[in-house]
């Protein structure tokens, strides 16, 4: 038996990504976001509300970083999603996290996050349902602690967490349960 819930943004898992930008005074601004992701081989799409301080920073700098937080930063990352830089100018400083300037784009890299995509703004689309920011990935940086023996990123070592829109929870991601383009291959023979 099924139950109808009407129109809700109920899709699981929702990502937890951290958008890094610089404010007009060169201080760091970071916000957590869940509505977005990869939209092409070298592109990301962020769906944001236009009144975020981060959006003003993206408009001004034409760049941002997009990081995947690990569970070791869940408290700080959640705080960066709760607090607004429009009202709390020392938001990033309060988090206790650290940043270095990207060498490729005009945006910060948060050193505690295991994976960071450095992105240049390609387009900002104002839509009836919100603002979409399209960014071109110029580079991916990964901490050595999430690399395997061959030097490739090991998703299980990231200890990423997903957002549950239905119950407002976070869930750890990381156990490999199958091999893409292989686990269902035997069904191709039927």
Look at the alpha carbons of 32, 90, 51, 105 in this order and tell me if their dihedral is positive or negative. negative
Question: Stretch 162-190: mean pLDDT, rounded?
Answer: 90
User: What does the pLDDT read at residue 128?
Assistant: 87
7 falls within a domain: no
110 in any annotated domain: yes
> What is the arrangement of strands in the sheet containing 43-48, beginning at the earlier edge strand?
28-33, 17-22, 63-68, 115-127, 130-142, 43-48, 36-40
Residue 33 lies in a domain: yes
- pLDDT recorded at residue 61: 98
What average pLDDT does range 52-67 have in this prediction? 97
pTM comes to 0.94
The pLDDT value given to residue 99: 98
Domain total in the chain: 1
| Domain contains 9 | no
State the pLDDT at residue 144. 97
Domain membership flag for residue 12: no
Q: Give yes or no for residue 129 having a pLDDT over 90.
A: no
In a domain, 11, yes or no: no
Instruction: Kindly indicate the confidence band of residue 47, based on its pLDDT and cuts at 50, 70 and 90.
Output: very high
In a domain, 70, yes or no: yes
* pLDDT tier at 11, thresholds 50, 70, 90: confident
Interval 136-163: pLDDT, tens: 999 999 999 999 999 999 999 999 999 9
The answer to whether position 40 is within a domain reads: yes
**pLDDT score recorded for residue 37:** 94
pLDDT tens-digit readout, 70-114: 999 999 999 999 999 999 999 999 999 999 999 999 999 999 999
The answer, yes or no, to whether residue 190 has pLDDT greater than 90, is no
Round to whole Å and give the CA distance between 153 and 112: 16
CATH no. for residue 84?
Answer: 2.30.110.10
Residue 46: strand pairing partners: 36, 133
Give the mean pLDDT of 17-36. Answer: 96
Q: What are the tokens at 156? A: 């299980």
What is the model's pLDDT at position 29? 97
Whole domain around residue 79: which residue ranges? Answer: 17-189
Token couple for 170 = 């976070």
């Amino acid at each position: 038996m099924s139950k109808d819930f009407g129109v809700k943004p109920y899709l699981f898992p929702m990502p937890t990504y951290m958008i890094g930008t610089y404010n007009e005074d060169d201080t760091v601004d970071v916000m957590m976001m869940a509505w977005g992701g990869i939209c092409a081989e070298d592109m990301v799409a962020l769906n944001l509300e236009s009144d975020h301080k981060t959006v003003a920073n993206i408009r001004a700098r034409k760049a941002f970083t997009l990081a995947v937080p690990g569970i070791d930063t869940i408290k700080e990352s959640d705080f960066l999603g709760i607090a607004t830089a429009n009202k709390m100018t020392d938001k990033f400083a309060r988090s206790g996290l650290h940043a270095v300037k990207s060498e490729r784009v005009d945006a910060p890299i948060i050193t505690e996050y295991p994976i960071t995509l450095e992105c240049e703004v390609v387009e900002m689309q104002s839509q009836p349902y919100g603002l979409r920011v399209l960014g071109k990935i110029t580079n991916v940086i990964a901490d050595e602690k999430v690399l395997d023996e061959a030097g490739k990123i090991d998703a299980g070592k990231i200890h990423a967490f997903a957002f549950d829109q239905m119950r407002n929870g976070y869930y750890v991601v990381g156990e490999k349960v199958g091999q893409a383009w292989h686990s269902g291959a035997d069904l191709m023979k039927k």
